[in-house]
Structure 1
Amino acid sequence: MNYTQRDPLGTYKAPFNPPLGPSTRQGPGPELMGADTLIGNSVFNGSDEDIGSIKEIMLDMRSGRIGYAVLSFGGLLGMGTKLFAVPWDALSLDVENKRFSLDVDKERLKAAPGFDADHWPNMANPDWAEGIHRYYGIEPVSSDRPI
């Protein structure tokens, strides 16, 4: 299910690509989107492989920024599913296909630092955050950088 299908308020009914000239678009998407509609969206890599789905969006309550998307990958019927915290800046929205893209191959994701639902990492730990950002090749966002 993608964000247009999980839109109980009709946020994304207006076209994303209005004709040239003054914008006739109404509603916030895709520059500003409801977090609730993004949970469950598929994530694909550059090889067009399905590498999971977004299970949670983690907000940095001090800065008001999105810190991480928690992806699930692998397993069968929820058994053996591994969770991954991916820096939000590592993801890009694929508006055409209504899904997210992450520039990582399946083998690299399988080897990524992950966790299970009963053992979440301390995402507020700066050492943990630095390691995750480094793994995905993303510069950590400092708390003094403007939004």
Structure 2
Amino acid sequence: MSDTPETNSLLVTARVDGLKVRSRDGDSLGQVQAFMVEKGSGRTLYAVLSLGGFLGMGKSYYPLPFELIAYDATGDDYVVTIDRRVLEGGPSWASNAPEFTQAYADRVSNYYGLSAARVDRVPLA
């Protein structure tokens, strides 16, 4: 038996500011609030999108598997590659962020028809 502590794939939340997000039709959706990054590899697994609201009120937050957004260098923004209605019907929260457990990662990924990344608990607040 080894005395080496077991490593995990804990996600870290990297807050960002001002990264615009638009639909694949070119409509403005909101901003990237944060990226969820796998600690060991540095690979981005999820983007948390901030949509709607006015003057900081009424925003909704949507965790989206990173493979469903693409960076557009021409517009210097991110493009959601799925239909806006699918995104808006997906897992989200308005004020109390859930704990991003494996069960929540499974829920998000299953909604989008993807296999979930292995995660450990991450507070999203």
Q: Which protein has the bigger strand share?
A: 2
Q: How far is the alpha carbon of 1:132 from its aligned partner?
A: 0.8
Q: How far is the alpha carbon of 1:97 from its aligned partner?
A: 1.5
1:142 and 1:101 mapped to 2: Cα distance? 25
1:65 and 1:46 mapped to 2: Cα distance? 24
Q: How far is the alpha carbon of 1:62 from its aligned partner?
A: 4.5
Q: TM-score, normalised by structure 2?
A: 0.71
Q: Structure 1's 133 and 103: CA in aligned 2 closer, same or farther, altered over 3 A?
A: same
Matches within 5 A, 1:96-115: 96-115=74-93
Superposed structure 1 runs of 4+ greater than 6 Å apart: none
In structure 2, what is the equivalent of residue 58 of structure 1?
36
1:132 and 1:100 mapped to 2: Cα distance? 19
3-state secondary structure, aligned to 1:128: helix
Structure 2 residue 116 is matched with structure 1 residue 140: yes
2:98 and 2:34 mapped to 1: Cα distance? 14
1:108 and 1:78 mapped to 2: Cα distance? 24
Identity %: 27
Structure 2 unaligned regions, length at least 5: 1-13, 120-125
Structure 2 residue 97 is matched with structure 1 residue 120: yes
Structure 2 residue 60 is matched with structure 1 residue 82: yes
Structure 1 unaligned regions, length at least 5: 1-34
3-state secondary structure, aligned to 2:108: helix
1:80 and 1:104 mapped to 2: Cα distance? 23
Aligned residues: 106
Q: Which fold has the larger relative contact order, with Cα–Cα distance below 8 Å and residues 6 or more apart in sequence?
A: 2
Q: How far is the alpha carbon of 1:63 from its aligned partner?
A: 4.3
Deviation per CA, 1:107-146: give whole Å up to 9, x if none.
2222221112x411121x2221112122233333357xxx
